[in-house]
Chain A
Amino acid sequence: MAADTRSPLQLIKDGIVSDNTIFKLAISLCPAIAVTSNLKNGFFMGLAVMFVQTMVNLTISLMRPVLHPRIRIPIFMLVISGWVTVTDMMMSAYVRDVYRQMGLYIQLIVAFASILAHAETFASKNKAVPSAFDGIGMGAGFMFALVVISFFRELLGKGTLWGIDVLGFKPMLIMILPTGGFLAVGLLMGFFNWIESRYSGKRAGGH
């Protein structure tokens, strides 16, 4: 497969819109539901994923000269788990209140199919700078999805945003329970598909 020729800006745009991990590819939905019960957690989880994907892409792209194709998967796994561990250690040292709420889910980033997919299909075949932007794009899309989901879940479920009381009452408490998570993800996915089909004139979905 030839090297990807998209511009950095296009890479970021695609990561947020056409190749959005949550709303378009519908993978890594587990954290999309588990850590989005409030806005702060959703935001920092998105940030952590963006950091990991970008650094993993960069590292693997720079390692291309020593990457033996037969053992590339174990090497990808080392790079991914290494960067996730670094992120976990740094969060537990520097943003402790967020870390306490997210705990296990940061370490679960190692299991994200999307990180391995980007490493395999993009970073191992492209130069460092485009690879970094692919990571930033994927991360931006992930963060956008998580922020939107947790915005609605916290606002409707608790009446607050980022911990600050906004509504003064709790319209739909179920939104902060897992059921509400599934509802939010499904409805938002449908909503974004509808927008896309209206404004681009092509049929979205079909999966």
Chain B
Amino acid sequence: MTGKDIIKITLNLVIIYVVGGFLLAWVYATTSPIVFQKTKAEKEAALKEMMPDAQSITHEGDWITPEQKHAGFYAGRSGDAIDGYIVETYGKGYSSYINVLVAVDGEQKIGKIKILHHAETPGLGDEVEAEWFTKQFEGKGADQMKVIKGETAENIQAITGATISSRATTNGVRYALEMLKEKYGAGTAAPDAAEMPAGHDMSSMGHEGAATPGAKGAEMSQPEVKK
């Protein structure tokens, strides 16, 4: 192979790869805005589904679960009053971390839960997505987050043959409730906006134009979570 051949081959390869690179960049530039918008809309729709009555849902902050998973949490507001929180959480399951969204109301009771992602065994662990299982969580509190093998109205009934997946989901939900309790104090129906729990940093709130605590205390007409 002569020097001339080597140059010819190299040039051929370089030109083809550069043209290919430009074509790919063009497709990327066309599709990535669409992907970005759709991901954003999907996330917002998932949050809205958790608290349909809230006027706005904002990202309040992030936390780390006891099993070292990073997750976020959100506040749903109507006007300035916080209706409740939506917490993303994880529970270590049989073959995956079960990613759950938990909507919590002003009394630290569960509104509803939604399984976002899991890789549990099809036909067994994936039953955690079933409505009969997720509906059990509604209206319950952190102290009720225990898995019982058998019928129970007070706690969470395990899926037959999938105790580990059932426990993982329940644990994840309990972590979320405990995190909220630690951050915002035990939720009660009595509003007391003037008092701020220790360690809560107002500057980390995503809510634009946040009203001062004094003003909040004046306008409460519905129960709000203690801030």
Contact = CB atoms under 8 A, between A and B. Distances in A.
A68 B9 contact: yes
B225 to A, nearest CB: 33
Nearest to A174: B123
B16 A75 contact: yes
B34 A75 contact: no
A79 B23 CA distance: 11
A82 B35 contact: no
Contact of B123 (A71, A79, A173): A173
A82 B24 CA distance: 7
Given A68-B8, A78-B20, A92 B35 contact: yes
A74 interface: yes
- Looking at chain A's contact residues, the main secondary structure is helix
Interface residues of A, number: 25
A198 interface: no
A192 B101 CA distance: 47
A85 B8 CA distance: 28
A60 to B, nearest CB: 11
B122 A173 contact: yes
Given A71-B13, A74-B13, A82 B122 contact: no
**Residue from the set A85, A93, A94, A96 with the largest chain B CB neighbour count within 10 Å:** A93
A66 B24 contact: no
Given A70-B9, A71-B9, A176-B122, A78 B16 contact: yes
Given A170-B123, A176-B122, A93 B16 contact: no
B42 interface: yes
A93 B29 CA distance: 12
Contacts of A71: 9, 12-13
Contacts of A75: 13, 16
B196 to A, nearest CB: 41
Contacts of B34: 93-94
Nearest to B28: A89
A96 B40 CA distance: 13
Given A68-B9, A86-B24, A78 B17 contact: yes
Contacts of A68: 8-9, 12
Interface of B: 1, 8-9, 12-13, 16-17, 20, 23-24, 27-28, 31-32, 34-35, 38, 42, 122-123
17 contacts: A37-B122, A66-B16, A70-B9, A71-B12, A75-B16, A78-B16, A78-B17, A89-B27, A89-B28, A89-B32, A89-B35, A92-B31, A93-B31, A93-B34, A157-B123, A173-B122, A176-B122
Interface of A: 37, 63, 66, 68, 70-71, 74-75, 78-79, 82, 85-86, 89-90, 92-94, 96, 157-158, 170, 173, 176-177
Given A78-B16, A96-B42, 17 more contacts: A37-B122, A63-B16, A66-B16, A68-B8, A70-B9, A71-B12, A71-B13, A75-B13, A82-B23, A82-B24, A85-B27, A86-B24, A89-B28, A89-B35, A90-B31, A92-B31, A93-B31
Q: Which 9 A-B pairs have the closest CB atoms?
A: A93-B31, A93-B34, A173-B123, A89-B31, A86-B27, A68-B12, A93-B35, A78-B20, A82-B20
